[in-house]
Amino acid sequence: MPTIPNTQLLDAARRAVAAASTVCRGLQASLDLSAPMVKGDRSPVTVADFCSQAVIARTLVAALGPIRLIAEESSAILRDPAHGAHLEAALAALRPIWPGITEVSLLDTIDLGAPPADAHSAMPSSFWTLDPIDGTKGFLRRRQYSVCLAFIDRAIPTVGALGCPNLPSDRAAPLTSIDARGCLYLATSDPAGAQELPADSPGGTAVLLPSHQRTAPSPPHTVTICSSVEPSHSSLDRLTRVLDALALPYRLVRLDSQCKYALVARGQADALVRLPRRRDTGYHIWDHAPGACVAAAAGCTVSDALGRPLDFAAGTSLFNNLGVVCAAPWLHPLLIDAVARAGVLPA
Ligand code: AMP
Ligand code: MG
């Protein structure tokens, strides 16, 4: 199969993520969010997760022809007769942008991205990976969430699109409010940088994010570190020990989803640090590839907590890595050193 240029892949990703972000935004405003469906791992999932995955799969196929897509969701829950009302709600949400949609076409399109049953399956040499709604718990709280799509080529994210429908572009605005426009971040691994656009008009003019400086800021400033809202997703206790070892004044910003990568990419935060409680905690590739691509394109350094490159081809999780550190280049080695000295990584 001929190789498709990154610019063409990025254009398809931009349209797919923008369309899904609009659908999610509408559903966040209109859905009853008090009773989500619950998956086998006890995590919540909503009609919007399924709509987003379907819209993205459909848009990519229309633009590019047959694709390999490894995404978070499969249609199994939606096929359960107990969730008939959710299936109806998904069809109703998509009908305006998907003429002729049927139950079969919706469910089969979701399953274009169904993840392999075995998380350790051999990955194709290149594929798309998708988290249709990252931070579902943030979505349910009507806070931050993101729509996250990346193209992986030989273990590296070469195209990333990060829809942040509630994230204000105004760096001074509170992160807890729902912005009227939201932000969309686009990047490739080519040296063109990362772009920011309004999520509600992705055909508009893109702004190039300034590339991160390699040297420490002078005079020194209080470093801003992003971490999860959910304590079970990343250990706050371990993070505090790392930041004590770093011995720089810091403040923590806690928000859901890969919006954390966007904040670091755009220079509003200096780092995101994710520390596992257990060695076998598998971070899903779709939870990191899109954000990592955008942050790296903006000049950030992205690695695991031991400083090793993230390996996006070890399976559906980052099985060859432990934790994640994404930081401004001057801060990254200091954080890796602080992680080592704090002795916080599980044996
Ligand atoms: P965050 O927005 O930082 O809370 O991260 C959200 C992501 O954390 C979700 O997409 C989940 O895939 C992932 N996640 C869920 N449970 C865990 C866990 N126990 N450890 C690490 N990550 C998790
Ligand atoms: Mg996720």
My answer on whether omega of the bond before 329 falls inside 30° of 0, hence cis, is: no
Phi first, then psi: give them for residue 15, nearest 5 degrees: -70, -40
Of the candidates 72, 142, 58, 61, the residue with the CA atom closest to the CA atom of residue 105: 58
Q: Which residues 6+ apart lie within 8 Å of 5 measured at CB?
A: none
Going by DSSP bridges, is the β-strand pair 271-274/223-227 parallel, antiparallel, or unpaired? parallel
For residue 281, report the distance from its CA to the centre of ligand 2, in Å.
14
228 lines ligand 1 (CB under 6 A): yes
How far is CA 69 from each of CA 117, 173, 243, 268, rounded to the nearest angstrom?
14, 35, 37, 32
Residue nearest to ligand 1 atom 8, measured at CA: 233
Q: Which residues 6+ apart lie within 8 Å of 114 measured at CB?
A: 71, 73, 74, 75
241 lines ligand 1 (CB under 6 A): no
Residue nearest to ligand 1 atom 16, measured at CA: 233
Which amino acid is located at 157 in the chain? P
Residue nearest to ligand 1 atom 7, measured at CA: 135
For residue 126, report the distance from its CA to the centre of ligand 2, in Å.
21
Q: Per-residue pLDDT tens for 73-107?
A: 999 999 999 999 999 999 999 999 999 999 999 99
**Cα–Cα distance between 98 and 91 in angstroms, integer?**
9
- For residue 2, is pLDDT > 80? no
Q: List, by residue number, the catalytic residues.
A: 49, 136
Cβ atoms 242, 342 nearer than 8 A: yes
Average pLDDT over residues 147-173: 97
233 lines ligand 1 (CB under 6 A): yes
For residue 28, report the distance from its CA to the centre of ligand 2, in Å.
17
Q: Per-residue pLDDT tens for 213-238?
A: 888 888 888 999 999 999 888 889 99
21 lines ligand 1 (CB under 6 A): no
- For residue 169, is pLDDT > 80? yes
Residue 221, exposed/middle/buried by CB under 10 A (0-12, 13-18, 19+)?
exposed
135 lines ligand 1 (CB under 6 A): yes
Q: Per-residue pLDDT tens for 17-28?
A: 999 999 999 999
The closest-lying atom of ligand 1 relative to the alpha carbon of residue 230 is: 4
232 lines ligand 1 (CB under 6 A): yes
Q: Per-residue pLDDT tens for 101-126?
A: 999 999 999 999 999 999 999 999 99
Residue 112, exposed/middle/buried by CB under 10 A (0-12, 13-18, 19+)?
buried
**Cα–Cα distance between 256 and 202 in angstroms, integer?**
23
| pLDDT-based confidence at residue 45 (cuts at 50, 70, 90) | very high
Whole-structure pTM value: 0.97
The pLDDT value recorded for residue 128 is 98
Of the candidates 168, 259, 200, the residue with the CA atom closest to the CA atom of residue 26: 200
For residue 17, report the distance from its CA to the centre of ligand 2, in Å.
15
